[in-house]
Structure 1
Amino acid sequence: MRALLQRVHAASVSVEGETVGEIGPGLLIFICAMQGDTAAMANQLAAKIAKLRIFKDAAGKMNLSLKDTGGDALIVSQFTLAADTSRGNRPGFSPAADPDEGRRLYEYFTNAVQSLGIKTANGVFGADMDVTLTNAGPVTIWLDTAA
């Protein structure tokens, strides 16, 4: 699985002008299931994200995790994270899982994050979404279970 994390003061996602998910301080997580990904990979990624020390402690050092801070996670599906730009100028997305498997793993990942005691909000799988965020830092981290 592939994830792009952004540490945020706040973030929201809307579909057709209606807010469907929003959080305060925490992480905006763009997530993509890739071909061959498994539930075990989703669990591994959820655990890594929950423990990743990218939030500031009292001394201003990135030493705290999402769990430590009690922050929330806004989880948004984004198949374009699977973009293959190695040929030509138009990205290909064949490395992404097929839509049914992508949805299953997206929902599984969300449940895995929730099971770690993190409050989550979500976008709508496969929808055309507008995402608004106030990036904190900025801090943006790329994670890939295949790497």
Structure 2
Amino acid sequence: MRALIQRVTEAKVEVAGELIGQTGPGLLVLICAMQGDTEAEGDKLAAKISKLRIFKDDHGKMNRSLVDVGGSALVVSQFTLAGDTSRGNRPGFSNAAPPADGERLYLHFAEALRGLGIPVETGQFGADMAVSLVNDGPVTLWMDTAA
């Protein structure tokens, strides 16, 4: 699985002008299931993200995790993270999991984060979404379970 993680002061996702998910201080997680991924990759990624020490401690150092600060997460499916531009200017997405697998693994990942005690809201799989955020820092990380 691939994820783009952004530390945010706030983030929200809308579909057709309707707010469907939001978070206050915490993380916006854009997530993509790749060909061959299983629930095990989702569990591994959720555990890693929950423990990432990317929030400031009392001394201003990035030394606290999402769990430590009591933050929440907005998880949004983002199949374009699988984009391959090695063969030209139009990205190919054949490395992304098929839609049914992608949706199942996306929902599993969100549930895995919830199981770690993190409040989670989500986008809508396959929808044309408008995502807004205030990146805090900015702090943005790329994660890939295949790496």
Identity of aligned residues (%): 67
Q: Which residue of 2 aligns with 1:112?
A: 112
TM-score, length-scaled by structure 1 = 1.00
Query: How far apart in 2 are the matches of 1:131 and 1:5?
Result: 14
| Aligned mates of 2:59, 2:82 — CA distance in 1 | 37
Q: CA deviation at 1:67?
A: 0.4
Partner of 2:90: 90
Where structure 1 has 5 or more consecutive residues not aligned to the other structure, the ranges are: none
What CA RMSD, in Å, does the superposition of the two structures yield over aligned residues? Answer: 0.3
Aligned residue for 2:92, secondary structure, equals coil
SS in 2 for 1:3: strand
Q: Which residue of 1 aligns with 2:103?
A: 103
Alignment of 1:1-147 (within 5 A): 1-147=1-147
Runs of 4+ in 1 over 6 A off after TM superposition: none
> In the TM superposition, what whole-angstrom CA distance separates every residue of 1:85-139 from its partner, at most 9, and x where no partner exists?
0011000000000000000000100110000000001000000000000110000
- Deviation of 1:5 after TM superposition, in Å, equals 0.2
TM-score, scaled relative to structure 2: 1.00
Deviation at 1:71, TM superposition (A): 0.3
Query: How far off is 1:25 after superposition?
Result: 0.1
